[in-house]
Amino acid sequence: MSGAPRLADGARRLVAATNNGGKLREFRRLLVAHRWDVVSLAEAGWTGALHEPGVTYAENALAKAAAVSAALQLPALADDSGIEVDALHGWPGPLSARWLGPNATDEERLAGLVAEVDRRCPGERHVRYVCVVAFCRPGAEPVIAHGECLGTLTEPCGDGGFGYDPAFLSDDLGVTFGAATDVDKDRVSHRARALRRLAESGVLDPTLGAP
């Protein structure tokens, strides 16, 4: 199985409330040091659908994590993330995975966004990646954390990552997330920063009693 090494002894189960394989791999890499055994929805026995009923990242992340945690009576982690074009006042933002319709592929959304930016604000390609993560446990208050990173929308380069990564030229790295190594991306990405802030809250402490 791809992603970070799976833990066994001493690890606690955490359900990744996502159907996105790229996010699952990143969660596993980023949380391995916190002694969580991050399992997929299928591995946890979830058979329902995930819904994003809100208009903000936080509302959507919380809805997914809360539903999965309540149904499975396990800790659950979800995120909602997107790319925001400064010149378009943050569009597409929380609509990043849906603005081109429910059946569009990553490649179609990426090419469509580049074309849309060139049409509506040519030459204005400053963007940011935003991620909000929500951590829910039975019997405990949810915890939410935010992370973001800055970059420039560019012509696609690299076949790594997922989503808009090949067209996100990172200010921190000087290469696109699609061309970056996992190690480098995990140092500076919006998802990594959100999870670091979540860890700072103490909720990922492996000594906490599991419900």
Residues spanned by the domain of 170? 12-200
Q: Is residue 206 one of the residues assigned to a domain? A: no
Q: Is residue 5 part of a domain?
A: no
Q: At what angle do helices 190-200 and 21-31 cross, to 10 degrees?
A: 40
Please give the helix or strand (H or E) that residue 126 lies within, else none. strand 126-136
Report the catalytic residues. 80
In a domain, 2, yes or no: no
Number of folded domains that form the chain: 1
**Strand ordering across the sheet containing 126-136:** 36-39, 12-16, 76-85, 126-136, 143-153, 168-170
Report if residue 6 sits inside a domain: no
What does each of the 211 residues of the chain score in pLDDT, given as a tens digit? Answer: 334 334 444 568 999 999 999 999 999 999 988 989 999 999 999 999 999 999 999 999 999 999 999 999 999 999 999 999 999 999 999 999 999 998 999 999 999 999 999 999 999 999 999 999 999 999 999 999 999 999 999 999 999 999 999 999 999 999 999 999 999 999 999 999 999 999 999 999 866 654 4
pTM (2 decimals)? 0.91
Domain containing residue 16: CATH number: 3.90.950.10
Q: What's the first-to-final CA gap in the chain, in angstroms?
A: 27
